[in-house]
Amino acid sequence: MPDHPQQNACWSCKGPAGEGLFCAACQALQPPNLQQNYFQMLDHPPTFKVDRTRLETSYQALQQQLHPDRFATRTARERRFSMEHVTRLNEGYATLREPLARAGYLLQLHGRASGDEASGAAPTDPMFLMETMELREALEAIDPAQPDADEKIDAMRQDMERRVEEEEQGMANAFEAHNNTQETTHLEKVAQHMDRLRYHNRFLEEVERLEEKLFV
Amino acid sequence: MAYNDKVLDHYENPRNVGSMDKDDSDVGTGMVGAPACGDVMKLQIRVNDNGVIDDAKFKTFGCGSAIASSSLVTEWIKGKTVDEALEIKNKEIAEELALPPVKIHCSVLAEDAIKSAVSDYRSKKESTSS
């Protein structure tokens, strides 16, 4: 058919399977389409700012269609495809839901390292490191035995959550600037914000650890 | 992960933990971080008139290997000249502590901390002598 020159053949009935999860002709479950990125898979535009409800709705709908329980009595091949689909779906959803992972994934889609170890971002500003160190020291200095320890910890958490929001806003702005100009310097900025966000996340993990100790 | 004995020893009994006055002109402060994991390390050296490091302190928020690497480095650089301290390579730190490959970056961090502390010290000396 000239309209669909690249139509995939169904593994089961060998007919044209169509674009869907299931063969248009025989309804057999098709393997995951690895050409699709996570945004396409979850039917969301590839942007840093995401509509969480939309992501969740897509995720739930796909999860329902693809869950291995539904394929318990089907062919071994379909059972395996179902597992593969659900694994990829969970990975994709986890990636897009979390700002740091989402930013890294978007960098990858833009052909840049994901912002992990080999981010290539400029070394973190020493003033920022100094501040991070001071915040960690201040947190450490809180004596859990004092009656106001939980208030102090809570205040530090709120302060850090504001910093996290700033970094996320910074990433959103940098991605938007990149979309408008296509200049890669904006992606550099994203990687720098990601670096800073990781330090902040570590701080929040430490807060959580302290709070657990305090409330047991 | 099982830590090697030397790492454990430095982790449980870290040497030279603490801070010095970072505004003191004889003190160099090195501040480094590992953005991939969010570890931060501060290494401070005090240099006497003969250019010898007579005291070193560190403060590290990070994993056991990062703490051990910085603790070890403070022991090694005490009594060394600034130039000798700069010769310490991450490979020696990693070998001494038998760090596994995934923890090599901790020793890199410690080496970078020495460089950063020395460069802070030197830039202070330059600005006071000029």
User: What domains sit in chain B, N to C, each tagged with a CATH number?
Assistant: 5-124 (3.90.1010.10)
- Chain pair A-B, CB pairs under 8 angstroms: 45
When pLDDT is averaged across residues B22-43 and rounded to a whole number, the result is 93
**What ipTM score was computed for the predicted complex, to two decimals?**
0.84
CA distance A66 to A33: 13
Q: CB burial class (10 A; 0-12, 13-18, 19+) of residue A150?
A: middle
Nearest CA in chain A to B33: A129
pLDDT confidence tier of residue A5, bands split at 50, 70 and 90: very low
Report the 10 Å Cβ neighbour count for B67: 24
Which residues does A92 contact at the CB level (< 8 Å), separation at least 6? A38, A41, A42
Answer whether A30's CB lies under 8 Å from A154's CB.
no
The pLDDT assigned to A114 comes to 62
The one catalytic residue among B18, B37, B48, B91: B37
A188 at interface of B, judged by CB pairs closer than 8 A: no
Query: Could you say which of A121, A203, A206 has the minimum Cβ distance to residue B35?
Result: A121
Question: Does the pLDDT at position A115 exceed 60?
Answer: no
Question: Does the pLDDT at position B62 exceed 60?
Answer: yes
Across the interface, whether the CB atoms of B31 and A130 are under 8 A apart is answered yes
Question: Does the pLDDT at position B74 exceed 90?
Answer: yes
> What pLDDT, in 10s, does the model give residues A155-179?
999 999 999 999 999 999 999 999 9
The rounded Cα B82 to chain-centroid distance in angstroms is 12
The pLDDT assigned to B2 comes to 61
**Which strands, in side-by-side order, build the sheet including B27-34?**
B27-34, B39-47, B53-61
Question: Does the pLDDT at position A216 exceed 80?
Answer: no
Q: A149-181 vs A185-214: helix axis angle to the nearest 10?
A: 160
3-state SS class at B32? strand
Contacts of B38 in chain A (CB under 8 A): 198-203
Query: Could you say which of A126, A195, A206 has the minimum Cβ distance to residue B35?
Result: A195
Q: Which B positions 87-106 lie with beta carbon below 8 A of chain A? A: 105
Question: Does the pLDDT at position A1 exceed 70?
Answer: no
Question: Residue A85's beta-bridge partner residues?
Answer: none
B63 included as an active-site residue? no
